[in-house]
Amino acid sequence: MAFDLQTSFDYERPIQIGEGVYWIGFCDLLSGLHCNPYLVVDGDEAVVIDGGSRPDFPTVMMKIMQTGTNPASINALIYQHYDPDLCGSIPNFESIIDKGDDLKIISDRENNIFIRHYLVTAPLLSLEKVNSEFIFSSGRKLKFIKTPYAHSPGSFVTFDEKSRVLFTSDLFGSYAKEWNLFLSLWPECRECRDYSCCPSNKKDCPVKDIMKFHQKIMTSTKALRYALKQLTDIPYETIAPQHGGVICNLNDIEFIQDTLAKLADVGIDGIL
């Protein structure tokens, strides 16, 4: 799906990032930590990925309904790790969807140990229980790929085979107050190797923001490199992280992935 990245998007409404895929997040210009819940719609079925915090729930649910999606059509909630900025609104979703045991809450077994403390009433299903995939009635498939310790033991990413969007959770994320939903690098950014001073005198460096985020959030250099290696054979065309901007330029994705694979001093390695 092609985008004109110069377009001025209305962040008060859902924004389509792929076929049947919508950003339903909250634009927080004060904190710099932009959380990106996503909605995947296929016919009269829907799935929410990393649904967001409790304070953001009214915004997220309003955007879900603005897509024309009835909350009752949401069949599954997918959580790629257990942090409250993803999972805090689980009780709100359960109350409004009101499906009881028919609602699937899917995460890794390591995450479910903690997710159950969010007052979950629907069954918590592990990746193994669902064969590491969610299949819509049309046959559209979401595949789950484990990326342990990037940054939690049960972290994973989700690939939508139809739209070729890869939902990467904290991988490819960033922390920055200068934010746009779609991250796009200048051609000279892909040639730069000195992140202490921008040769083009630009105020902000999105690559530096991504590097710093991973050094702070990921557990170790080894864990980050292992996680990136798990993405090698996935035919994705768009990266949709939980924080920062969506990346849909394959040259940008390749450059950022290569930069992260060479990154040192990640997590505990930056202290030791």
Q: Is the pLDDT of residue 244 over 80?
A: yes
How many Å apart are CA 249 and CA 269, to the nearest integer?
31
What local confidence, expressed as pLDDT, does residue 148 receive? 97
What local confidence, expressed as pLDDT, does residue 223 receive? 98
pLDDT digits (tens, 9 = 90+) for 81-113: 999 999 999 999 999 999 999 999 999 999 999
What local confidence, expressed as pLDDT, does residue 163 receive? 98
Polymer length in residues for the chain: 272
Strands 238-241 and 165-169, bridge-based pairing: parallel
How many Å apart are CA 213 and CA 206, to the nearest integer?
11
How many Å apart are CA 187 and CA 113, to the nearest integer?
44
pLDDT band at 68 (very low <50, low <70, confident <90, very high): very high
What local confidence, expressed as pLDDT, does residue 166 receive? 98
In the DSSP assignment, the letter for residue 237 is S
How many Å apart are CA 142 and CA 234, to the nearest integer?
12
What local confidence, expressed as pLDDT, does residue 1 receive? 57
What local confidence, expressed as pLDDT, does residue 211 receive? 93
CA 139 to each of CA 43, 45, 163, 215, 230: distance values in angstroms, whole numbers, following the listed order: 11, 12, 13, 38, 24
What local confidence, expressed as pLDDT, does residue 268 receive? 96
Most distant CA atoms of the chain, gap in Å: 56
CA 244-48-25 angle, to 5 degrees, is 35
Beta strands in 60-202 (DSSP E): 74-78, 104-106, 124-125, 133-135, 141-146, 156-160, 165-169
199: left (phi over 0), alpha (psi -120 to 50) or beta: alpha
Looking up residue 194, the CATH number of its domain turns out to be 3.60.15.10
pLDDT above 90 covers a percentage of the chain that reads 79
What local confidence, expressed as pLDDT, does residue 114 receive? 96
Average pLDDT on 255-272 reads 94
How many Å apart are CA 245 and CA 210, to the nearest integer?
10
Determine which of 3-17, 60-74, 144-158 has the lowest per-residue pLDDT on average. Answer: 3-17
What local confidence, expressed as pLDDT, does residue 41 receive? 98
How many Å apart are CA 266 and CA 33, to the nearest integer?
19
> Is residue 8 one of the residues assigned to a domain?
no
pLDDT band at 8 (very low <50, low <70, confident <90, very high): confident
How many Å apart are CA 147 and CA 170, to the nearest integer?
10
Q: Output phi, psi for 164, to 5 deg.
A: 60, 30
- Overall domain count for the chain: 1
Query: 171 and 228 in contact (C-beta within 8 Å)?
Result: yes
Average pLDDT on 20-47 reads 88
Average pLDDT on 237-266 reads 95
> Is residue 6 one of the residues assigned to a domain?
no
**Peptide bond between residue 151 and the one before it cis (omega within 30 degrees of 0):** yes
What local confidence, expressed as pLDDT, does residue 32 receive? 60
Q: Is the pLDDT of residue 199 over 70?
A: no
Tell me the residue range of the domain where 52 lies: 15-128+142-270
pLDDT digits (tens, 9 = 90+) for 137-187: 999 999 999 999 999 999 999 999 999 999 999 999 998 767 889 998 877
